[in-house]
Structure 1
Amino acid sequence: IQRERWEALTPEQRRKFPPIVPDFVIELRSATDDLEMLRSKMGEYRDVGVQLGWLINPQQQQVEIYRQGQDVEVRNLPTELSGENLLPGFRLRLSRYL
């Protein structure tokens, strides 16, 4: 999460389970994961405020990119993913891992 969002919490909220969602999530589909369940989970993340999410699907050689207020973007692997404005300068080259 971005620092300013964390700092906006009260000290008590920080000590307990904070009422905050991450800005960015990655889901890596395993061979036993149900794709529709993962897609639903990614949609829920987006619905509660996650700004950027990647669903990496090695079985189908694709990645689905979830952004607030936008349709899901699907890219074929291998590809390089960018942290965009949320994580400036962050790049993940999937060809190194898949």
Structure 2
Amino acid sequence: MTDFEIRANILDGIIAGTDTSANLFSFVTYYLCHYPEVKQKMLAEIDSIFPPNSSFQLTHSDLSKLKYCEAIIKEVERLLPVSNILSRYPSEPIEVGG
């Protein structure tokens, strides 16, 4: 790998790991502020799974019950994708699948 390719890979890791997560969280917050009924339904789902004011131990199966929260995140990703371009292009024509 060239130095340029190494730097590009490092930058991809940094951007993909931090910038996209931060932007997605910002977009989710934006939509929840603009749709308070969605926010209330989301909070009701969270309260139904996680008991308030307790020393609740979170498990993976608890997270999988958050279907409405997952739907909100997926809808925001659909409406405002944090990365909708492919920044890599082949230097010569390629054949895919045969």
TM over 0.5: same fold? no
Larger proportion of helix:
2
Range into which the TM-score falls when normalised by the shorter chain: under 0.3
Larger of the two Rg values belongs to structure: 2
**TM-score in terms of structure 1 length:** 0.23
Higher strand share: 1
